[in-house]
Amino acid sequence: MTHQGFTLWFTGLSGAGKSTISAIIEKRLREAGAKVEVLDGDVVRANLSKGLGFSKEDRDTNIRRIGFVCEVLSRNGVIAIAAAISPYRAVREEIRSRIHNFVEVYVEVPLEVVAERDVKGLYKKAMAGEIPQFTGVSDPYEPPLHPEVMVNSAKETPEASAGKVWAKLKELGLISL
């Protein structure tokens, strides 16, 4: 497989399927011999962004940190996959403007569906007012206006969604098999 460095940015509500779909893409890329790194929102928060809260400023800082790492990786020939809620459009656009090959994937799903999937009960608590600043409930999520790929995890299997992403990467000439 030949490839250049690029950033594949998954955005969507908590529980939308970003990590699941990105793991399928990561596996396919690794099996094809690509250099790839995944920056999962939960993992980054526990390590690179430990101590940040959930205010708009802290969320923006977290996403900018992920974006910086993606920028460095992709500039050096690595495929960087970010799977983070990244709720604010302006910060995603800021990151897009800094990364030459940036592919945004919007994992769309209705709030009711992610609330049903939520094994931790976070959406239920947020809807009851027990969790302040919860994205999609008491804090905004701003969907991308023009993502390169849009998938709907309520209507598609993770494999079908990953297939759409894979096809777009090939169409853009970012991967070749």
Question: Active-site residue numbers?
Answer: 86
Rounded distance between C-alpha atoms, residue 151 and residue 107, angstroms: 5
Q: Is 107 left (phi over 0), alpha (psi -120 to 50) or beta?
A: beta
Per-residue DSSP letters for the chain?
Answer: -EE--EEEEEE-STTSSHHHHHHHHHHHHHHTT--EEEEEHHHHHHTTTTT--SSHHHHHHHHHHHHHHHHHHHHTTPEEEEE-----HHHHHHHHHH-SSEEEEEEE--HHHHHHH-TT-HHHHHHTTSSSS-BTTTB-----SS-SEEEETTTS-HHHHHHHHHHHHHHTTSEE-
User: In the chain, what is the straight-line distance between the N-terminal and C-terminal CA atoms, in Å?
Assistant: 5
